[in-house]
Structure 1
Amino acid sequence: MTQSPYDVKTVVLRKNIDKSEAMDIVEEKKTDPFKSLLSRPKKEDVHVHSLNLYYECILMVSGKYVADYFRKANHTISVDSNVHEVSLGDGIFPIRSKSGITKAFVGSRGKNKIDLKLEEHVFVEEEDVLTFDHHGRDVEFPFKIDSKTVENYPQQLLDENIQNTKKSEMTYDDAVEKLQTQLKKPLETDVRNLNEEFVLSDISEIFIPIFEARLIGPKKKVAIIRIDAVRKKVL
């Protein structure tokens, strides 16, 4: 097996309900997937075929993008009406010619404008965190991670439940690439001396305990109820 070039943290969140409590929620909600605008089956017409606990991976990546570069820029300044040009370094910048309409509005004593063609030294620093569900879709992360909310021996727990563990379908490389794309904003077309760096801060696999109930309803229709065992919430 090829070793990952990334240092990946493994976290398992603690469930806040057990299987019997999950079953109570399922029994209460089991007719919902089969209801329609006109009818809802009776509870006795819906059978709970199975209820299993799964650990589903949320892949979290965080990092920082820094860059500096030079870009061309135009800056306009206002000068007195009797100024005809400005000297800056080795450059001479003449006033902007006024149109007839401008002269009519501001008169001969109106401020003159000078366009300075300069170069700006730009510094960029962007940080972000992205999270993906086990299918690789972007998701929000609503969970709190601290010593009270995580399992003490995450890898051991996952090994004991390996058949019910859903790893991420997204590769680490793809997740990192998405983060880089998110952080690196499109640059101007005319830049020079670009220095840029992407720093990967962290990759974590955070496993969420999910109770999944398989239901058999009228006409043998099958439905699934999923319960977030951390927030005690039907998904």
Structure 2
Amino acid sequence: MVKSNYDVKTTVLRKSIEQDEAEQIVEDKKTSPFKSLLSRPKKEEVHLHSLKLYYECILLVSGKYIADYFRKAVHTISVPSNVNEVVLGDGVFPIKSKSTLEKAFVGKRGKNKIDIKLEEHVFVEEEDELAFDHHGREINFPFKVNSKSVENYPKGILEQNEPNVKRPELTYDAAIDKLQTMLKKPLETDVRDLSEEFVLREITELYVPIFEARLIGPKKKVGLIRVDAVRKKVL
């Protein structure tokens, strides 16, 4: 897979449980993959075939979209009832025509409305982050990342655990394109002098330790249980 050359930060989250604790969680939940609406096997009918630790990448991209442009607009203002038009610069703006119903009220002293056509100079700044699982699917990022939750030597840990490291399948370029698309709001159709810029803030490959249990159930059916080793929960 070809990836463009970017400065990428590599982070590995620290495990909150070890192999024996993960095995106990699997033992408590091992019948779940084989249950149906009508039945659930007994625990002794399911045995643990293997339990492996994987490091799965969550790809994080953050950035900012900036734009400024001019757009046509109409602003409606209220003026006293005895005003028939407004002069602004070289423009003359008459009051909006009153409805038949309004004219029927003799002596009504409301406000007249005037539509002023003008241009607005618009400045846009949108900043955000997207997260993708290692398959490239967009996800809500569920972790807190700080000095206590990350490993000190991430690249060394990944090297030690090859080939059980699941790297991102989505290219950096594709992830950045998705972020740009999200940040860039649809523009009005009638704009001029558009100036826009996307600023990439950071790309992070964040690796999450996941214990994956392969189970053999009744009739030699195979089931999987995945345990998040950071949050101590079954995925």
Q: Give me the TM-score of the superposition, normalised by structure 2.
A: 0.96
Report the alpha carbon displacement of residue 180 of structure 1 after superposing the two structures with TM.
0.2
Within 2, Cα distance between the matches of 1:24 and 1:81? 81
Q: How does 1:31-50 map to 2 (within 5 A)?
A: 31-50=31-50
Report the alpha carbon displacement of residue 139 of structure 1 after superposing the two structures with TM.
0.9
Question: Would the alpha carbon gap of residues 2 and 29 (structure 1) be closer, same or farther in structure 2, given more than 3 Å must change?
Answer: closer
Q: How does 1:55-204 map to 2 (within 5 A)?
A: 55-105=55-105, 107=107, 109-204=109-204
Within 2, Cα distance between the matches of 1:80 and 1:19? 79
Pairwise CA RMSD of aligned residues? 1.5
Within 1, Cα distance between the matches of 2:105 and 2:37? 68
Q: Deviations over 1:120-148 (max 9, x none)?
A: 11111111110000011111111111111
Question: Would the alpha carbon gap of residues 114 and 24 (structure 1) be closer, same or farther in structure 2, given more than 3 Å must change?
Answer: same
Q: Deviations over 1:15-69 (max 9, x none)?
A: 1111111111111110111112222111111111110000000000111111111
Q: Give me the TM-score of the superposition, normalised by structure 1.
A: 0.96
- Structure 2 unaligned runs (5+)? none
- What SS does structure 2 have at the residue aligned with 1:117? strand
CA contact (8 A) 2:2 2:171 kept: no
The answer for the alignment partner of 1:220 in structure 2 is 220
CA contact (8 A) 2:3 2:172 kept: no
- What SS does structure 2 have at the residue aligned with 1:163? coil
Within 2, Cα distance between the matches of 1:188 and 1:71? 7
- Structure 1 unaligned runs (5+)? none
Report the alpha carbon displacement of residue 111 of structure 1 after superposing the two structures with TM.
2.1
Amino acid corresponding to residue 47 of structure 1 in structure 2 = H
Instruction: Give me the identity figure in percent.
Output: 74
The answer for the alignment partner of 2:209 in structure 1 is 209
